[in-house]
A and B are shown apart, each in its own frame.
Chain A
Amino acid sequence: MMKFLVLLVRNRLAAVGGVLLLVVVLLALVTPLLPLQPPNVTNTADRFLAPFAPGHLLGTDHLGRDLLSRLLWGTRLSLAVGFAAAMIAATIGAAIGIVAGYFGGRIDNVIMRGVDMLMAFPYILLALAIVAALGPGLMNALIAVAAVNVPFFARNIRGITVGIANKEFVEAARLAGMGHWRIIGIEILPNVLPVIVIAVSTTIGWMILETAGLSFLGLGSQPPVADLGSMLGEARSALITNPHTSVVPGVMILVIVMGINLLGDGVRDALDPRLRSGALTRPMPATTVARDTVPAPRGEGVLDLTELETQFHVGKRIFRAVNKVSLTVAPGECLGVIGESGSGKSVTALSIMGLVASPPGVITGGRADYRGEDLVGMPYDKLRSLRGDRIAYIFQDPLATLHPLYRVGEQLREAIQVHHRVGRAEAWGRAVDLLRSVRIPNAENRARAYPHELSGGMRQRVGIAMALANEPDIIIADEPTTALDVTVQAQILSLLDDLRRERGLAIVFITHDFGVVGQLCERVSVMYAGRIVEEGPTRAVLDAPAHPYTRRLIACVPELGQGRRRLHSIPGLPPPVDNLPDGCAFAPRCDKAQDACRRCEVTLDTAGARAVRCLYPEEDLSVQGGTA
C-alpha cells in the first residue's frame, strides 16, 4: 500500500490531477459556508454582466444571477449526482455480477444474456428511453445514468467472482457447511471490493459527464436549480453574445473530468505490475550498445564473438546474462552451444544480430565479427541488410515466431523481397521452391496456409525455409527442436544436417540437449550462468567431460527412444545472474566444490582444442594433451 502511494505521488501528472480534484471537491463541500450571493435569485437589471464586474467575480447570467455562486452550487450538485449514480450502479451491478458469478449455471446464463442485451444498446439511447418513461428531472436522469452503467459493473464483477468462486478456500467454506450468503459476504466480497473501487474510480468521470449531458439536453436538473450541465444548456442560447456564461461551467466540467482522468491513469499505472517492470516498453530495432572499450578483433572464423557481454538493466538491478563470451565458428562448421535455461545461451545467440529486446537488454562489451566486420558497433542500416541475408535465425516455437495473420508463403516471399529486387510472382515461386527444399509435401498449397493450420513439425520447416531464403553463410538456430516431439525432432535435425552439407552453411546450434549436439555438432561450448565453462570437440567432450557441470548434463541424456529428455536431474538451480556468487558460479551445486572454488574467479584454461573453467576438473586436460 505504501509502495502504491509512493508510486502514485511520483507520477507527477497523477499528482496534478489529484490536487485539481481535491480543490474542486473541497470547494464544493464548503460552498454553503462561503459568503456567496444566493444562486437562484434573479435580478434582471444586472443581466449578462461580464466577469470581474463589481460584486460578481465571474459576472452574471441571462437572469442576472451571480455566476460564481451558481458555478459552485452547480459543481456541488454535479459531483453529488455523478457520485450517487456511480455508487448506485456499482452496488446493483456488483450484486448482480456476484450472484451470476458465484452461482453460475442457469442463473449466470440468464443474467448474462440480459446484460449482453443491455450492452447492445448505444449507451445514451437506453438512458434517453428511461428518461422518456420517467419524465425529465435530475433524479430521473440520475436513475437513467446509473441504470445504463449497471451492466458494465455486472460483467466486470462477474468475471472476477468466477475466478474467486473456484478457489480452494471457497470450496473449503462450502464443504464446512457455510451458507451461500455467508460465503459471499465473508469470502467473496472482500476479494471483489478492490475491483469495485477501481471500476468506480474509472467510471465516475463518465457518470458526471453523462448526467451533465442529460441536464445539458434539458432532461436533467430543472430550473431554477442548475447543475453544470444545465448551466451550459441555458447559456447556449446566449453563446454568441455572451460567451462567458458558457465558458465558465464548461471549463469547470473540463477541469473535473481531466482531474479524474489524470488521477485514474496514475492509479492504473501504479497498479499495473507490467509497467513497473518495464515490460510494456517497446523493444528498439536493434539492441542498445554501450561499450567502454572494444577488444581487438581475432579474425579467425566466419563468425567470432570476443568477450561479448550482454546485460539486462531492470531498475537498479543488473542481470549479467552474457559474461565475456568468446566463440569462433569456422565456415561450414556446426557449433553447439549448450546449457540449461537461464544460462545465457539464447541471449548470446540474439546478441549477435542485435535482437535482444532493448530495453532492458544492453550490449556492454565485446564484439561479434562477421568476416572481420564488427556487428555490434555496426550502423543499424548495415546491420539490417545483413539480417536474414548473411546471417539468419531459426527460433524455438514457430507458432509464436511466425506471424499469425499472414500466409506462410507471404512470409517467405517477404524474406526474399526484403533483400532482393524480384517481382511478386517470382518471389512467390521461390517461396514455394524453398518449402519444397525443406521437404514440405504439396508445397504450392501449403504456401497458402496460415501458421495455425500447419503441424508443429511443418511450421518449423517453414521457419527453416525462411532462414534459407537468401542462402545465408550462417544460421543461428535457437532451440529449434525443443517444441517438437521426438520423431519430428529427428527429422528436422537430419534435414538441417543435410542442408548444411549441401550448402556449406555454418550453424550455431543453441540447445539444452547433449543428445542433439552429439548428432549434429562438431564442436560444443557449454554455458553456465552467462559464461562458457567448457569447450572442445563434441566427441572428446562427450567421451571425457572435464567440467563437473558438463558431466552432469551428459548424464541427463537418456538413450534415444527412452521418452522425454529431462534436465531436472541436476539438483539445484542456476544462480540468478544479478547476484552471482564469488568464484565458481557452479560451486553451490557442485559435489567437488572446495573452499578454493569460492575464493576467486576461476579462469577458462585452454589445452589444445579443449578448455575448461574448473579448479578440479574431472579430466586433466593438460595430461591428455587435449586429444581431439
Chain B
Amino acid sequence: MGGYILKRLLSAIPVLLGITVIVFAIMTLIPGDPATAILGSYATPENVARINRELGLDKPVVQRYFIWLGNMLTGDFGTSFSLDRPVIDEVLERFNATLVLAGTSFVLCSFFGILAGVISAARQYGWADKAITFAVLLGISIPSFFLGMMMILIFAVRLQWLPVSGMYAIYGGGGLVDLISHLTMPAIALSVVATGVIARLSRSAMLEVLRQDFIRTARAKGVGERRVIWRHALRAAMVSIIPVLGIQAGFVLSGAVYIEIVFQWPGVGRMLVDAILTRDILLVQGGVVFVAACYVMFNIAVDVAQSLLDPRIRT
C-alpha cells in the first residue's frame, strides 16, 4: 500500500513539471508586453527596460523558466504588482476560502449524486427514477452562475433566509454559524451540475453492475434486495464512480470561479479574474500553478481511494 502511494507520488512529478511548463509557455510565448501592461501610461522606454530587468525578462526564455521554477520551489512566487503583496500569501489566503466552498460542494455533489443515482437505478422506470432523471436533466442544463443569481433573488432578497453574499457578515461576523449561512447558497449552486453528472453516471454504473453474475449469486444466497443494492452493487459500482468523482472535483473547482463572482466569495477564482482584468501576470501564473498542483495531488488521493476499494489494482 505504502509502495503504491509512493509510486503515484513519484509519477506526479513529471505532471507537475509539465504544468509549470505549460503555464510558463502560455504566459511567455503569447505576444504581449507585461511591462507596458504594468506601467500603463508611464511606459517610457527607460521604465520599460527597468521593469524588464526587474522581472528578469531580458534573459533567454529557458533560463527564465528555470529561475521561475527554482523560485517557486522555495515558495517564492513573486510579488503581485496590483496588490503589492507576495503572490504566495495572497494565493494561500484565497485558496482557503475556495477550499471551504469547493470542498463543501464536492461533499454535497458526491453524496446526493450517488444517492440519487442508486435510487434511480434501483427503481428503474418507476416514478422516482423518472423524477430524478428529469431533475438531473434540469440540473446539468442550468448554468451555475444563473442558478446562483436566481437563488439570491429567491432566498436572500424575497425570503430573506440567507445573506446575499460574502463569506462572513461584515459586522459581528465570524464563527461557524455565520460561515454556514453564507456558505449554503454558493455551495449548493456550485454542486448542482456535478450532482447531476454524478447521479447520471452512478445510475448507469449501478445498472451495469446489477446485471453481473455476482449479484445473482448474492440473490441466490438469499440476501435481501436492500443489501444487494446498497452493499453488493454499490460497492462494485464505486469502482467506476470514483474516477468520475475525481473529474467532477475538477469541474467544481472550475465552477467555483463563477460562483465566487456571483456571491462575492473571497476565493482564488475571483482573485484570478481580477488579476486578469488588471493584467497582473505573476498573480495569474502563481494562482494557476498552485491550484493545478493541488488538483493533481487531489487526483492522487482519488487513485489511492480507488486502490483501497479495489484490491485488484493494489500492486
Contacts and interface: CB of A to CB of B under 8 A. Distances in A.
B284 A285 contact: no
A282 interface: yes
Contacts of B281: 132-133
A378 to B, nearest CB: 13
Given A121-B295, A123-B254, A134-B32, A393 B27 contact: no
B143 A282 contact: no
B54 to A, nearest CB: 20
B223 A236 contact: no
Contact of A253 (B140, B143, B157): B143
A132 B219 contact: no
A219 B216 contact: no
Contact of A123 (B225, B228, B251): B251
A253 B257 CA distance: 18
A121 B272 contact: no
Given A121-B295, A283-B210, A384 B222 contact: yes
B58 interface: no
Interface in B94-133: 121-122, 124-125
A116 B218 CA distance: 39
A239 B262 CA distance: 10
Contacts of B292: 120-122, 125
Contact of B143 (A254, A281, A386, A387): A254
A236 B146 CA distance: 10
Given A120-B296, A133-B30, A387-B219, A239 B213 contact: no
B282 to A, nearest CB: 11
Interface in A204-223: 205, 209, 212-213, 216-219
Contact of A250 (B150, B210, B225): B150
Interface string B208-243: 101111111111111111001000100110010000
A262 B137 contact: yes
Interface in B193-215: 204, 206-208, 210-215
The A contact surface, by secondary structure, is helix
B211 A282 contact: yes
Contacts of B236: 403-405
Contact of B275 (A132, A265, A453): A132
Nearest to B153: A243
Nearest to B291: A125
Interface string A345-359: 000001001010100
Interface in A230-265: 232, 236, 239-240, 243, 246-247, 250, 253-254, 257-258, 261-262, 265
A131 interface: yes
A205 B141 CA distance: 9
Nearest to A121: B292
A612 B144 CA distance: 71
B183 interface: no
B253 interface: yes
B15 A116 contact: yes
Interface stretch (A394-402, A434-442, A587-595): A394-402
A404 B238 CA distance: 12
Interface residues of B, number: 82
Contact of B221 (A216, A257, A466): A466
Contacts of A243: 153
Contacts of A88: none
Interface stretch (A91-99, A326-334, A411-419): A411-419
B250 interface: yes
Interface in A131-173: 131-136
B309 interface: yes
A135 B30 CA distance: 10
Nearest to B208: A280
Contacts of A392: 220-221
Contacts of A453: 311
Contacts of B27: 129, 132-133
B8 to A, nearest CB: 13
A131 B273 CA distance: 10
B142 interface: yes
A2 interface: no
B276 A131 contact: yes
A280 B203 CA distance: 11
A258 B137 contact: yes
A402 B284 CA distance: 52
B221 A217 contact: no
B173 to A, nearest CB: 21
B6 interface: no
B310 interface: yes
Given A125-B288, A129-B27, A404-B214, A355 B32 contact: no
Nearest to B206: A282
A283 B223 CA distance: 15
A122 B220 contact: no
Contacts of B279: 132, 135
Contacts of B150: 247, 250
Contact of A281 (B207, B262, B272): B207
Interface string A94-131: 00000000000000000001101110111111101111
A385 interface: yes
B177 interface: no
Contacts of B215: 283
A406 B312 CA distance: 11
Interface stretch (B17-25, B40-48, B72-80): B17-25
Contact of A384 (B125, B207, B217, B224): B224
A343 B250 CA distance: 51
A283 B206 CA distance: 11
B222 A403 contact: no
B67 interface: no
B125 to A, nearest CB: 8
B15 A395 contact: no
Contact of A355 (B125, B214, B216, B254): B216
Given A121-B292, A123-B250, A404-B236, A217 B218 contact: no
Contact of B149 (A236, A258, A279, A466): A236
A3 B296 CA distance: 45
B258 interface: yes
A212 B137 contact: no
A239 B311 CA distance: 52
A217 B232 contact: no
A616 interface: no
A213 B147 CA distance: 13
Given A123-B251, A128-B288, A418-B223, A239 B214 contact: no
24 contacts: A116-B15, A123-B254, A128-B284, A128-B288, A129-B27, A130-B26, A133-B26, A133-B30, A133-B32, A212-B143, A217-B257, A217-B273, A243-B153, A258-B137, A258-B138, A282-B121, A283-B210, A355-B220, A384-B222, A385-B222, A387-B221, A392-B221, A400-B213, A404-B310
Interface of A: 113-114, 116-118, 120-126, 128-136, 205, 209, 212-213, 216-219, 232, 236, 239-240, 243, 246-247, 250, 253-254, 257-258, 261-262, 265, 279-283, 285, 350, 353, 355, 357, 384-389, 392-393, 395, 397, 400-406, 414-415, 418-419, 450, 452-453, 466, 469
Closest 4 CB pairs of A and B: A117-B18, A124-B254, A250-B146, A388-B222
